[in-house]
């Protein structure tokens, strides 16, 4: 059996290019945006903790999520503009979004379905676990710390299932606030802002 060295070299080069593109996927995400997302979550935690009912608390979290998504999208656009690269150029950025967006949509649908029922209390744990699954999946097109963040969301969501409802607001703040701030800082320091 004869090995075609030229063909093997081309395959190795394609693998290396693919690995580099996957590593670049995280660079299209703004670290500053992640930090802003985390800060908005910490503010939501403080505001929600003053609300008497779970529906009022979760309403604040939904508003904070809309603000966070907007901040992340705008800051990623500004980062791409600063680096003179299109925001969704390249396969990794598109795959990152394609992994994350369907899970966010499922979370929104589940929230809408559970909202009028007593099962609304399940939403904080479901939000953390679903978001964690999305970030974990999207992280396959980024770097290891992104996947770690997704795993931490899942574990925190599972952990919240065993804790009283009074702690769920705190866990939402720790996960959506703390994890985004830490991850955003890491991206900011290691991937150009």
Provide the residue ranges of all domains of the chain, joining segments of one domain with +.
29-190
Return the axis-axis angle of helices 31-48 and 180-190, rounded to nearest 10°. Answer: 160
Round to the nearest angstrom and report the end-to-end CA distance of the chain. 50
Is 90 exceeded by the pLDDT of residue 161? Answer: yes
More confident residue, 82 or 121: 121
Q: Dihedral through CA 128, CA 103, CA 64, CA 120, nearest 10? A: -60
Q: Among residues 24, 118, 155, 138, which one has the least CA distance to residue 80?
A: 24
- What distance in Å separates the CA atoms of residue 56 and residue 73, rounded to the nearest whole number? 26
The chain-wide mean pLDDT, for the chain, equals 84
Is 80 exceeded by the pLDDT of residue 7? Answer: no
Token code pair at residue 132: 């964690």
Q: What is the pLDDT of residue 103?
A: 92
Lowest mean pLDDT among 65-69, 75-79, 156-160: 75-79
Backbone angles phi, psi at 69, to 5 degrees: -65, -40
* pTM to 2 decimal places: 0.81
Query: What band does 35 get if pLDDT is binned at 50, 70 and 90?
Result: very high
């Amino acid at each position: 059996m004869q090995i075609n060295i030229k063909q093997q070299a081309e395959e190795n080069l394609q693998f290396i290019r693919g690995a580099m593109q996957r590593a670049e996927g995280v660079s299209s995400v703004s670290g500053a945006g992640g930090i802003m997302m985390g800060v908005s979550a910490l503010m939501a935690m403080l505001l929600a903790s003053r609300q008497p009912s779970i529906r009022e608390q979760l309403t604040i979290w939904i508003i904070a999520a809309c603000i966070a998504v907007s901040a992340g999208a705008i800051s990623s656009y500004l980062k791409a503009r600063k680096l003179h690269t299109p925001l969704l150029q390249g396969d990794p950025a598109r795959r990152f979004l394609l992994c994350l967006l369907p899970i966010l949509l499922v979370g929104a649908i589940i929230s809408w379905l559970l909202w009028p029922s007593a099962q609304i209390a399940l939403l904080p744990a479901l939000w953390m676990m679903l978001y964690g699954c999305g970030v974990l999946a999207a992280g396959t097109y980024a770097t290891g710390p992104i996947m770690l963040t997704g795993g931490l969301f899942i574990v925190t969501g599972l952990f919240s299932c065993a804790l009283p409802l009074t702690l769920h607001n705190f866990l939402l703040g720790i996960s959506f606030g703390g994890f985004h701030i830490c991850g955003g800082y890491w991206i900011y320091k290691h991937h150009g802002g």
